[in-house]
Amino acid sequence: MRHHGEALRALIKDDELLAALEREPFTAPLNKRQRALVTYALKLTQSPHLITEDDINFLRGAGFSDAAIHDAAAVTAYFNFVNRTASGLGVRLEAE
């Protein structure tokens, strides 16, 4: 999260929200769409085998189109891939 936090900070421009997301994403002050997206991304990251049609319908109910859901899945999967590749190769951030 810390490494990607700079990109997120540039997008949301809200340091308090960013800190809340880092601390506890499930209780961060988010609107319905944001909450749905964070919930989906976390589930896809932590237990992708448990994603069901209900998860997709939850996103649709929050106003996401099928194209937006595809993008959310692709971006989440990409960040997971990159993070796991870097971790698997022992890559460390400069600050570490």
Task: Mention every residue, 6+ apart, whose C-beta is less than 8 A from residue 44.
Answer: 51, 73, 76, 77, 80
Regarding pTM above 0.95, the answer is: no
What class, spelled out in words, does domain 31-96 have in CATH? mainly alpha
Count other Cβ atoms within 10 Å, centred on residue 35. Answer: 16
Q: Which two tokens stand for residue 45?
A: 């990251």
Give span(s): CATH 1.20.1290.10, the chain: 31-96
Give per-residue pLDDT as tens, 3-45. Answer: 566 677 777 778 888 888 888 888 899 999 999 999 999 999 9
- Report yes or no: 95 and 63 within 8 Å, Cβ to Cβ: no
Task: Mention every residue, 6+ apart, whose C-beta is less than 8 A from residue 26.
Answer: 38, 39, 42
Give per-residue pLDDT as tens, 49-94. Answer: 999 999 999 999 999 999 999 999 999 999 899 888 988 999 877 6
